[in-house]
A and B are shown apart, each in its own frame.
Chain A
Amino acid sequence: MIKVTIDDVEIEVAPGTTILNAARQAGGELVPPAMCYYSKLPGTGGKCRTCLVEVAAGSTADPRPMPKLVASCSTPAMDGMIVKNKTSERVQTNRGGVVEFLLVNHPLDCPICDQAGECHLQDLGYEHGSAKTRYREERRTFSPIDIGKKIKLHMNRCILCYRCVAVANQLTDKRVHGVLHRGEHAEISTYIENAIDNDFSGNMIDVCPVGALTDQTFRFKSRVWFLKPYEAECACDKCSGKAVVWMFGNEIFRVTARKDKYGEVETIEDKTAWICNDCRYDKKDPSKWNLIGPRKIDRHSVISQGKYATKNDNNPKLIR
């Protein structure tokens, strides 16, 4: 085991653990945000740059500081490494810069976006963004497209995290969408009109950190904070059948996988509990589900209490 210090907290982790995962083991405020890294999807990370941290000492063997901020999601922790996240002014300033970059071409259409309330970009914007934009130029726009009957792609909102590409590569048998063009013009698309048709393609919606990929069976049906999430399970021959059903009264409005506080699908019985498209889109009848009980949502965003927690509010009320 090696010892790494993050924001003055010493953490013992297995060699090879990344700084971000070491921080997650400790939990709490010192965990850097991550918009593109997804621990359950190998190969993701390093792209959004929101998880940048300062390495004040590289290791016991080589205690020199690293000159540049490093992406904590893809940098391995070393024995004796000293990392600064919340305690580094430089990290906070630069992370604010990254958030500003992510927002310059973002449409800021939260009022009509289904992701609002559980959007990681919204959270980041709240924490780091400035109330005013300095971007005077025309924003980049794309028309929304259907990729299959069940998924709507709003490229305007996309931050190019590549997570959905990883899902298509790793969970489905055939990838039909990807990243096209480059630079500012890079976009997620199928290039030709093509439907994503696979039992597990719906997981792309769950991994999307923003509202770029939304569930057509839930689109514009309700704001997420009006719904009550219940842990539920069903007998399914394709997936674990362990999901969260989002209810209004006795109606199921949507079905998602069970996600942890970092927005990642939970590991249940040593397996990532991805859910299949049948469970996600077609089982909206409550009789098909066994409701286990209310689902705790411990993200600090709108969804958890109908309003943003203040910075002093360390114990946000949970929906029951």
Chain B
Amino acid sequence: MKADHPQAVNEAPIDFSAATMAEMNRVIGLFPEGKEKSAILSVLHLVQDELGWVSVGAMNRVAQILNIEPIEVYEVATFYTMFHLDPVGKNVLEVCRTGPCQLVGSDDLIAYIEEKLEIKVGQTTKDGLFTLKTVECLGACGYAPMLMCKYQFYERLTKEKVNEMLDAMREASKS
């Protein structure tokens, strides 16, 4: 097993949109003075909402915003699995693969999506529309099998439902 994570290249801090900045200031303001770091996960979610992923330049800017060292941001961003540290497609399909989902067919679901999108887990479609990932339990075991995309849960999935879902996502990305 090669667990090598090649070192990223440093990038200048990037700027976020005014709307994102306003929301960041709101979530930071939820914590007492001097405890701004507590908002780091909220802030990283906002970064990902804007960029689709969390780049080095974005993390460097987050460090400035929270007044902490960049390494503290890298440490946190790499610990929590929701943050994509590499560019991803417009729709990231995160399919639950854990026990209760597996009992009712998540393996087949993953295989079906792979076949349908002609990609493997971890890959992005050529048109940049979909990235397929597997994740651990999302707390929807009674409504399995399921996947999450853009914080939305798609539950009790069947092949038909997956087809509909993918078509709707394709349609939505045209506009």
Binding site for B on A (CB under 8 A): 137-143, 145, 174-182, 184-185, 187, 189-194
Q: Which of B2, B71, B78 contacts A181 (CB 8 A)?
A: B78
Q: Which residues of A contact B7 (CB under 8 A)?
A: 145, 189-193
User: Are A174's CB and B78's CB within 8 A?
Assistant: no
Binary contact readout B127-138 vs A (1 if CB under 8 angstroms, 0 otherwise): 000000000000
Q: Nearest Cβ distance between residue B110 and chain A, in whole angstroms?
A: 22
Closest B residue, CB atoms, query A177? B71
Number of A-B contacts (CB under 8 A): 67
> Judging by beta carbons under 8 Å apart, are B3 and A191 in contact?
no
A246 vs B170: C-alpha distance when bound (angstroms): 68
Q: Are A193 and B10 in contact (CB under 8 A)?
A: yes
Residues of B within 8 A of A (CB): 1-10, 56, 69-72, 74-75, 78-79
| B86 CB to nearest A CB, Å | 13
- A143: chain B residues at CB < 8 Å are 4, 6
Are B5 and A192 touching (Cβ within 8 A)? no
Q: How far apart sit A175 and B73, CA to CA, in the bound complex (Å)?
A: 12
Chain B residue contacts of A187, Cβ below 8 A: 3, 5
Given the complex, which residues of B lie within 8 Å of A141, measured CB to CB?
A: 1-4
Known contacts A175-B69, A193-B9; A138 and B74 CB within 8 A of each other? no
A interface secondary structure, majority: loop
Complex contact A178–B74 (CB within 8 A) = yes
List residues of chain A with CB within 8 A of the CB of B6. 143
A88–chain B nearest beta-carbon distance, Å: 35
Contacts of A182 in B (CB 8 A): 78-79
Using known A-B contacts A191-B74, A192-B56, determine if residue A180 contacts B8 with beta carbons closer than 8 Å: no
**If A138-B1, A175-B71, A176-B69 touch, does A192 touch B8 (CB 8 Å cutoff)?**
yes
Question: What CA separation (Å) do A175 and B1 show in the bound complex?
Answer: 29
CB-CB nearest in chain B for A182: B79
- In angstroms, Cα B69 to Cα A139, docked, is 32
